[in-house]
Chain A
Amino acid sequence: MPATFTRTPAHEVERKDTGIGGRPPVDKRPTGGGGGDENWDRHGHGRGGPRELITRYRMALIFGLSGDLMFFIAIVSIFFARQATGHFDARNDYVMDWRPIYLPSILFINTAIMLVSSLTMEIARQQLFRETDVMDEWLGIGRPMSRRATPWLLATIALGLLFLGGQWIAWEQLSEAGVFFSGNPASHFFYLITGAHGAHLLLGLVALGAAIAGVYWLKRVEYRQILVDCTAWYWHSMGVLWF
C-alpha cells in the first residue's frame, strides 16, 4: 500500500518503551508474570509491556467485579432469608407476609435486548484485537480499528438505553398495578435489585461513552485496547448478573 505512506498520519503516534522491545501490542507470546514458577530465567519476562498492562487492568476489573458479585450475593441471600421468615401472630399462627409479585412480561424483552447488546459489545471488542488493523493503527497509517469498533459501540449504547427504558416501563407498569417499592417484601427486592443493576448499567453506559471517546483521543494504542476491553468485560458481567 504505497499510497498510505504519502498520507499524513492522523496525529503523531507516541511510541514509548513498551517493554517488549518496541514491538506493537499484538504480541501474543506468554511473557511470564507467572506466580509459583521458580525458574524465571527460562522464559522472557517482558515487564510493563502491553500484554502485561492489559492483564493488570483486566485483573483489577475482575477483583472489582468479584466484590460487586458479593454485593449482589448478599442482597440475594437476604432475599431468600426474608422469603422464609414470618412471625407468630396473636392466635399463635405462623404468618408470612411474602406476596410474590407478578413480573411484567416486558422484562423478557429486556433480557433479549441485554443478550444482543452483549453480542454487539463483543464484536466491538474483537475489532480492537485484529492483528492487521492493530498494526496499521500502531504504525499511524489510519484508524481502521477505531473506525470499525465505533458503530458496534454505538449499537451497544443504544441497546443499553433501550434496556434501561424497558426497565423504566416495567417499573411504571408495576406501580400502576399498585406494586410500589415499600409495598411488600418481594417488591422491595424487585426494585432494589433492578435498581442496583440499573445503576451499574448507567455506569457501564458512561464507560461506553468514555470508550468511544477513548478510541479517538487516547494516544497509545494499548490504552485504547484496554479501555474497550475492560468496558466489554464489565458489560458482559452485567449481562450475566441480570440472569
Chain B
Amino acid sequence: MSWLRRHVFTTNHRSVGLLYLALVAIAVAIGVVLSLLMRIHLAWPALCFPGWGVMKPEDYLALVTIHGTLMVFFVLTIGPQNAFPSLILPGQIGAKGMAFPALNAVSLWMTALSLFVLLAAFLVPMGAPISGWTSYPPLSAIAAAGPGQALGMDCWLLSLAIFAVGQIFGAINILATIIDTRVKGMTLGRMPLTVWSWLISSTLVLPAFSVLLAALVLLFCDRHLATSFFVPLGDAVAGHVIRYGDGSPLLWLHLFWFFGHPEVYIAILPGMGLASSLFANFSRRPVVGYKLMATMTVAIGLLGFLVWGHHMFVSGMNPYAGTAFGLTTMAIAIPSTIEVLSWMGTLWAGSKRRGGLILKTPMLFALGFLSFFIAGGLTGPILAQPALDIYLHNTFFVVAHFHLIMAMAGAFSLFAGVYYWFPLITGRRMNETLGRFHFWFTLIGAYGTFFPMHLQGLAGKPRHYADLTGPAASLLPNLLPSERGITFSALLLAASQTFFLVNLIWSALRGLKADANPWQATTLEWRPSSEEELKLIRHGPYEYDVAWTESDFIPQWAEGGDQE
C-alpha cells in the first residue's frame, strides 16, 4: 500500500513520468497488435482468424481508427510531450519539480481515464468507431452511418475530450515550469534544445487542443442535440436522407486540422530537440548554430499553425486556398532543412575528431531518427503540391509519408530517450549488444515495412480499404507480393521489439552500474546528486570540445569560467 502511494498515487514528477511511459507502453502494444491484424488481412484477405473468422470491412476500419488514435495521441503525444518532460524537465532546468505537481498528476490520471474510455469502445454494443482517427462527418455525426458509429463513436468523443483537457493542463504545467522555476543563471540562451522544444510544443498544445475540444463539443451537439454544424442538408448516409439543417463537413475539417497539424509538431519537436542534444553529446562537439536552432524551433511552431489546409486539398476546398496552403507547407521545409543541416554539421565535426562519433545505442537511435526525418521529410514537399496530392492523397503514399516522418521518427526518438536516460532512472546502463540488435532489426523492419508503401501508393493502391472489389480489384494481384513483403517486414519489426523488452527488464535488474554522468553529458539532469544544492549556473548547454580543461567538456553545473 505504501509502495502504491509512493510510486503510483503520487505527485512526484519522476513517478508521474514513469507512469506516463507505462501508458505509452500499453498503448503502443495494443496499437502494434491492431496494425499487425490489418497487415495480415491485407496480405491474406481470406484468412480465417481463430475465434473471430474472416475480417469484415467494418472490423478493418475499426482497427484503422483505434490504431491511429492510440498511436497519435497515446504514444506520439504523451511519450515526448508528457512522459519525458515529467521525468527530465525539472532536472534539466535545475528545478526541484514541476511548477504544479498536483496538476501534473491530474493530467496523468485524466490521460489514463481517456485511454480506458477509448479502449472501452471495443466492448460496447456494435464495437469501435470506424471513421478513422480524423472522424470526418457526416459519417461521424450520424449514428446510423455504420456499426460502431453509435456508442463506439461516443466513447471516442468522450475519450478525446478528456485527453484534450488533460493535455491542456499538462501544457500549462510545462510552460509555468520552464518560465518560472529555472535555476538562477539558466537564461533562455542556456536552455538545452530539448527544453526549447518543450516550450514551443506546449505553446502549440494550448490553442490546438482547445480548438479540438470545441470541435468535439460541436460534433457532440450534432450527434445528440439535433444541431447541424457539420451535417449537410439532403445528404444520404447509409440510406437515411438528412432532412434538417444546412451544415458543412468542411467546417469540421478546418477545426480538426487546425488542431491536427500543430499536433504533429507537438509530437515531433521534442524528438528534434533530443536529437540535437544527443548528436552534440556523442559527437563531443557543440550544436552548430544553437541560437539558430532555437529560432528555427520557434519558426516551425509558428508555421505549423498556417499549414492545416494541406490535409484538405481533395476536400472540395477553394483551390486558391489550396495554393496558399501549399506555399506555407513548402515554407516549413526551410526551418526543417536548417535543423537537418545543423545536425549534419555537428555530426561532421564529430566525425573529424580523433575517435570519430561515439556510436552507443542512444546515438544509433538518434541517427535512425535523422534518417527517417530525411526520408519521410523528402516526400513532404511532394505532397505539399495540390496537383500531386490530388493523385496521391488517398493512397498508401501518404501512409508511407506519415509513418516514416511521424511514427518511425517519433518512435526512434522515444527509444533514443529511453536508452539515453535509462541510467538516470535506474542507475544502470542498458545492454549495448542487445541495443545494437534492437536498432538494426528495427531499422531494417521499419524501412522494409514503410518504404514499399510509397511504390504501392504510386501504383494507385488506396488507403482505408479492407479489400478492393470491382474494377479496382485488378490492381490487387499485381500488388499482392509486395503486400506480403510488407507484412513479413511488419512482423519482423514487431518481433524485434523483443530485444528491447528483454534489455529493459534485464538491464533494470542486472545491468552494469552506471556512473553519475555515464555519457559525459553537459546538461543539468546528469548533475551528481551527491553535489550540494545548485545555486547558479554559468555555462551554456553544449560546451563540448573545450581545449583548456582536462576532460573535453564543461557541464552546465561546473563552477566558474564565465563564458560571456
Contacts and interface: CB of A to CB of B under 8 A. Distances in A.
Contact of B248 (A47, A85, A95, A192): A85
A87 interface: yes
Contacts of A63: 171-172, 175-176, 206
Given A60-B100, A67-B207, A38 B189 contact: yes
A38 B187 contact: yes
B252 to A, nearest CB: 9
Interface string B211-236: 10111011001000111110011100
B103 to A, nearest CB: 8
Contact of B184 (A47, A70, A73, A192): A47
Contacts of B168: 64, 67
B255 interface: yes
A109 to B, nearest CB: 27
A209 B246 CA distance: 43
A182 interface: yes
Interface in A51-78: 52, 55-56, 59-60, 63-64, 66-75, 78
Contact of B245 (A67, A74, A97): A97
B173 interface: yes
B99 interface: yes
Contact of A55 (B180, B214, B221): B180
Nearest to B203: A63
A40 interface: yes
A87 B247 CA distance: 9
B185 A40 contact: yes
Interface in B152-209: 168, 171-173, 175-176, 179-181, 183-185, 187-189, 206-207, 209
B contact residues, range: 35 or more
A140 interface: no
B564 interface: yes
Contacts of B221: 188, 192
Contacts of B188: 35-36
Contacts of A35: 179, 187-188
B210 A33 contact: no
A185 B228 CA distance: 7
B227 A74 contact: no
A129 interface: no
A56 B180 contact: yes
Contacts of A38: 187, 189, 564
Given A56-B180, A82-B229, A185 B99 contact: no
B214 A71 contact: yes
Contacts of B213: 71
B207 A70 contact: yes
A223 interface: no
B407 to A, nearest CB: 27
B229 A67 contact: no
Interface string A8-41: 0000000000000000000000001101111010
Contacts of B181: 56
A38 B221 CA distance: 51
Nearest to A68: B210
A66 B185 CA distance: 29
A86 interface: yes
A45 interface: yes
B251 interface: yes
B206 A87 contact: no
Q: Is the interface of A mostly helix, strand, loop or mixed?
A: helix
B302 interface: no
A52 B175 contact: no
A56 B174 CA distance: 12
A1 interface: no
A16 to B, nearest CB: 14
Contact of B251 (A81, A181, A192): A81
Contact of A37 (B176, B187, B229): B187
Interface string B380-410: 0000000000000000000000000000000
B451 to A, nearest CB: 38
Nearest to B244: A182
Contacts of A64: 168, 172
B494 interface: no
B246 A181 contact: no
A71 B210 contact: yes
A190 to B, nearest CB: 12
B374 interface: no
Nearest to A59: B176
Contacts of B171: 63, 67
Contacts of B215: 74
A38 B540 CA distance: 12
B250 to A, nearest CB: 9
Contacts of A87: 232-234, 246
A44 B179 CA distance: 17
Contacts of B214: 70-72, 74-75, 78
Given A45-B184, A74-B215, A188-B227, A60 B251 contact: no
Nearest to A78: B251
B492 interface: no
Nearest to B180: A56
A150 to B, nearest CB: 26
B247 A82 contact: yes
Interface in A96-145: 96-97
Contacts of A192: 217-218, 221, 227
Interface in B504-556: 536
A61 to B, nearest CB: 9
A154 B184 CA distance: 41
A182 B187 contact: no
A78 B218 contact: yes
A63 to B, nearest CB: 4
A60 B218 contact: no
A59 B180 contact: yes
A188 B220 CA distance: 12
B317 to A, nearest CB: 13
B564 to A, nearest CB: 7
Nearest to B248: A85
Contacts of A96: 246
A158 B207 CA distance: 33
Contacts of B225: 181-182
B255 A78 contact: yes
B176 A40 contact: no
- Among B171, B209, B227, B248, the most chain A Cβ lie within 10 Å of the Cβ of B227
A45 B251 CA distance: 49
A88 to B, nearest CB: 10
Nearest to B177: A56
25 contacts: A35-B187, A36-B187, A36-B189, A38-B187, A38-B564, A40-B185, A40-B187, A47-B183, A47-B184, A56-B176, A56-B181, A59-B180, A60-B176, A63-B171, A69-B210, A70-B211, A70-B214, A71-B213, A74-B215, A75-B214, A82-B251, A85-B248, A86-B246, A181-B225, A185-B228
Given A40-B185, A59-B175, A60-B176, 17 more contacts: A40-B184, A40-B536, A56-B176, A59-B180, A60-B103, A63-B176, A66-B207, A70-B210, A70-B214, A71-B214, A75-B217, A85-B247, A97-B246, A181-B226, A185-B246, A192-B218, A192-B227
Pairs of residues from A and B, 9 with the lowest C-beta to C-beta distance, nearest first: A182-B226, A74-B214, A70-B210, A67-B210, A67-B206, A70-B207, A71-B210, A188-B227, A74-B211
